Amino acid sequence: MPRPIRAVVNLAAIAYNLELIKKIQPEWHCMPVVKANAYGHGLERVVNGLQAADLLATLELDGAAKLRALGWNKPIVLLEGFFNQSDLIDAQALKLDFVVHSDAQLDALALFFQAAGKLAYKPRLFIKLNTGMNRLGFPEEQAAAAIASVKALVQQHELPAPVLMTHFANADAADMRAQRPSPARQHTALMAAKPDEWLCSLGNSAAVLNCPELAGNIVRPGIAIYGASPGPRTAAEYGLRPAMQLCSEIIALQKVSAGQRVGYGSRWQAPIDSTIAVVACGYADGYPRHAPDGTPTWVNGHVAPLAGRVSMDMLTIDVTHIPGAQVGSVVQLWGEQLPVDTVAGHCGTIAYELLCAVTPRVPFTVIDQPNI
């Protein structure tokens, strides 16, 4: 018998979250982000829930190839663009659009286009400006020069109208206006550089939910599509539905007397005579080893706190007060009853990291259940 751990992806939740975002601003072109294997959910599992999207964004070429193999015929945008010349050949074959964020990419592109002669596919270029995140993008002072070079390329090779984009550093902050840079400041900088005939793309999940008026024409929601929160509010407050549940079962019970300790390092000590349940889920499944005692799990309608260090294949929870907890009882590590954001908060990280970290040994199933 296989270990009882499993992850369940709910397509209906993904489609619902996409609809919810589209309704915020019906004029938006919605480009869900499916990098990192759809934030750990599996490209092949989520793509059917994203049919209402106008474009998809990813980062990895093999992910883009997989999307094409899965039958996705609408645009795909590579968020970091190409890394070398051979990526450009593949991008042509796969009909990919891509970000251009540096002079080096711009130069390589000009050379490639020149050598290619007639292009098999005329890509839409997403020109990325650095408006204060200081990660990727043309600095504001170089925006005019970069845009002029792009315009020349576009004219020479009859490319579609480019998109000017940037990325917010602080759209998830509770006090956005107090941040440096503020989303409003980044928006102003982008708009000052944007040629009239170009569209713009600014909004990640946080911007789409917290400052939709600054999100631009093409929005790039990632985490919200999967039903977790970018912050500062909870996913439920935004009306999002969790797309992934991670579940396992109790495989053993231990009675421990007050004062006895549990697990590696004997970190947890029973304050009273207690019942400890052993759950088939460990860090080799992607559950964070640094989860502290008290991190919630969900058993039979109750919260069961983590008790003791997470090991590779198992974790231990305190079920002393949970009626009916027995071998075979289902334990939700996160999902419908227990937001992944809550678990992440206990672990000092964000839902993004937990969702991406589920390992290949965890079997996935896909459901399509609108009502849960």
Ligand X SMILES: *Cc1c(COP(=O)(O)O)cnc(C)c1O
Binding site for ligand X (CB under 6 A): 33, 35, 79, 167, 204-206, 220-224, 230
Give the residue with the Cβ less far from ligand X, 10 or 205: 205
Specify the residue, 221 or 242, whose C-beta has the smaller distance to ligand X.
221
Residue 129: what residue type? L
Q: Which is nearer to ligand X, 202 or 322 (CB)?
A: 202
* Minimum separation from the CB atom of position 230 to ligand X (A): 5
Token code pair at residue 157: 């090779």
Question: Of 57, 63, 62, which is closest to residue 80 (Cα–Cα)?
Answer: 57
From residue 17, alpha-carbon distances to 14, 229, 334 in Å are 5, 11, 18
- As measured in angstroms, the least distance from the Cβ of 345 to ligand X is 16
Among residues 217 and 326, whose Cβ is nearest to ligand X? 217
Identify whether 151 is a catalytic site residue. no
Residue 148 Cβ, how far from ligand X at the closest point, in Å? 24
SS3 sequence of 193-255: HCCCCCEEECCCHHHHHHCHHHCECEECCCHHHHCCCCCCCCHHHHCCCCCEEEEEEEEEEEE
Task: Please give the residue whose beta carbon sits closest to ligand X in the complex.
Answer: 222
DSSP string of 125-158, one letter each residue: EEEEEESSS-SSSEEGGGHHHHHHHHHHHHHHHT
Q: How far is the CB of 221 from ligand X (least distance, A)?
A: 5
From the list 35, 66, 128, 194, the catalytic residue is 35
Query: What H or E segment, with its residue span, contains residue 116?
Result: helix 103-116
Minimum CB distance to ligand X smaller for 205 or for 295: 205
Smallest separation (angstroms) from ligand X to the CB of 33: 4
Determine the Cα–Cα distance for residues 132 and 189; give it in Å rounded to an integer. Answer: 9
Catalytic annotation present for 264: yes
> Which among 23, 74, 121, 264 is annotated as catalytic?
264
Element (H, E) at 183: helix 183-193
The residues assigned a catalytic role are: 35, 264
